[in-house]
Amino acid sequence: MRRSGYHGSYYLNRDFKEAGPYRNSLFDQDFRNSKIDGYLSTLQLGLMLDKRDNEAAPTTGYWLEGSVRGATRFIGSDWDYLGANLSARFYWPVDKGHRLVVASQTILDNIIGDLPYDAMSRVGGSAYLNDLNAFGGQYIGRGIRDQMFVGRLKAIEQLELRYNFYDFNLGTQNFALTGALFGDLGVASWDLSKLSRDLQSIHSGFGGGLRINWNKTFVIRADLALSPTENYSPRFYLVVGNIF
């Protein structure tokens, strides 16, 4: 399956009193001499292979994707960059009834060029159109605050052990309750020159949660996550949809 898309965002870094980041903030120190306001116009093209048994809550199969994305002044962008992404999701049922499932997601993402800090935190592929950030947050890096670790190079691994422990009906509607244990691992490096240093720090988060599957098409996810990066301070997420 081929997939293409367009993503446009306008960045305006200021409050009501003054333009730009707060003076002497970490953001100001890192981006003082960079362009921070403007329009980011991104085109994306990718190939996807989907062999899952169910899109909302898969129990077997796999999903593979490779994509490229980029921005240039020829399509109205104030930044120029090129990005590439490889993503893979696998689902292994442990029992014949597919009630206990091991699920895995692996993401490799690389960016060349300049773009806003917020855009640099996003992973590519179809996830880019869904505004998934890494590393840290409710989707990638659970237990760590949003956009805690950002870089042009990203390597991410997520594992979940899912157990469908109860099914019931309310009228004509079917519901399934699934418990999950999970772990997120990732490395984010600013660029190739800092990769060897950043590889020494693998960021992690782990926890457990509950999935409510409604008619096998709509999932509500509740996760409680911890991370040594945050001194094991618990973080709770209530989100529509599985991450993968």
The pLDDT score that the predictor gives to residue 192 is 79
The pLDDT score that the predictor gives to residue 234 is 97
Name the band, by pLDDT with cuts 50, 70 and 90, for residue 165. very high
Quick check: 3 pLDDT over 60? yes
Quick check: 82 pLDDT over 70? yes
End-to-end Cα, the chain, rounded Å? 18
Name the band, by pLDDT with cuts 50, 70 and 90, for residue 34. low
Q: What is the spatial distance between Cα 202 and Cα 204, in angstroms, rounded to a whole number?
A: 7
pLDDT in tens, 191-231: 877 877 877 889 999 999 999 999 999 999 999 999 999 99
Name the band, by pLDDT with cuts 50, 70 and 90, for residue 133. confident
In the chain, what percentage of residues exceed pLDDT 90? 69
Q: In what order do the strands lie in the sheet with 81-93?
A: 2-11, 38-50, 61-71, 81-93, 100-113, 153-170, 173-189, 203-214, 218-226, 235-240
Name the band, by pLDDT with cuts 50, 70 and 90, for residue 4. confident
Domain segments of the chain: what residues? 2-158+182-206
